[in-house]
Structure 1
Amino acid sequence: MSENSRAKCSARSGPTVGAEVEKKVLEENKTRILSEHEECSVCLQSCIHPVLLPCNHIFCFLCIKGAAQRDRRCALCRTEIPNEFFKNPNLVPVIDKKTESRKESSHRWFYEGRGGWWQYDERSNKDIEDRYIKKEYKFEVQIAGSLYVIDLENYQQINRNDPSRRRKIKRDVSPPDLKGIAGLKISSESRNRSQICDREGADGGSAEETPTRTSTSTRTTSTRTSTRASETSTVDVLSESSTAAGGRREADGTD
């Protein structure tokens, strides 16, 4: 075979091999995070809503979103993050047996968005709920690299660096106009299932078994679900994320 023929064959096979290698690397990363308690290199805590960047590094969605507002590069290898990544992030599911078995209050904290409510991420929700129980009515929380004042007397979230930027907050079971969690949109099917589980739990019923009807309507079956599974594994990978044109949007969760 001549050198020109080899070069042509190499040119044809190169991208294919590269794509296969990239696919394999992505699958290995997904398998790894499914079986381990991945630590985010930004907050140095276990990942919440972990996303896999094109460079194959994993971070909390809110952590890398906040970091990208200052410098749109990976916090580890400095590889540039595509502008469209936060519109369609590669969200990786996590299996966490501890959170699956842990009992939590059916009430959660939400902040107002355009046309609905966003649920706080698990860590921020726990922080606010703990302060609420202790009757601490004004405190600061860090979300996506920014500091916010939580005012539980007036039920507001205030940007500490720009007090004119405020959002209403509330403690609720699951509002009907729930948009998603921490800026990640949730599908309507998942939202409805989560609301049924939450309300049953709040009413003292079983929040683990939710009846579902088959497409042929022949029988009603019970499928075991958990509120935590609904929040972490059924979140749609669409998000209303910050873009260059929307740089003034807050890192804590879009409109």
Structure 2
Amino acid sequence: MTHSFKYGVQASAILFASVLTTACHEANDPGLEYAPQMYESLPYDPLRQVDANTVNPMGINERTPAIGTVPRGKLNYFSHVGKDSVGIAERKLRNPLRYTLANLEEGKVLYTRNCQHCHGEQGDGQGPVGAKFKGVPNYATGAYATMNEAHIYHVIQWGKGRMMPHGSQVNPEERWKIAMYVRVLQKGKGPDGMSEMAQSDLDPSQKTNPENTAPLGQAQADKASETPGQGDQARNGTAE
């Protein structure tokens, strides 16, 4: 009885060691599977595969989307104006929203959430971050006071200089509303200038900048001031 028990323990130990050795041979091998059809999908799973796909290139289940594919719900999420083409953006992009008080109020909320920490409540570059790192512009001075809303929209989307892009944080409608509110801050009156800009009965193409007869929805290419960051030869997106 003693010998039988001893041999039984030894055999069990050898069997247990064999199982451990076999199971650890391949890190991704689950070992023996009972009813594998319950674990592995018979149809192709685009996000997981066990064996190489013999039909698709590179042996993978996923296929590269066709050129120009747009995710559902993201049509026009990013404008087709390149990152370094702010001048084209000024001339081509059009604000589809009206200068209503409701739109400006929402623009103020979005500005407070996404911009105020650098650009300040008054748009003077004296936000908590802007005051510390310096170099954040004052919207009401110099060339910054003449930037049209398409220019502002483009910079929000792609970023500029030390400003990081915010295209993934705010959708197109929100970008336009922020740009509209920045136009308010360009007047140098802070949030108090909203009532002057709000005209619910006018189309945005009819709403004009008192300092310039060009509609805000169009590029101010003939302005004499230089576009910030465009060098000495560019004026709001057009080179002389």
Structure (1 or 2) with the larger CA radius of gyration: 2
Higher helix share: 2
Higher strand share: 1
User: TM-score if structure 2 supplies the norm length?
Assistant: 0.25
Higher relative contact order (CA 8 A, sep 6+): 2
User: TM-score if structure 1 supplies the norm length?
Assistant: 0.24
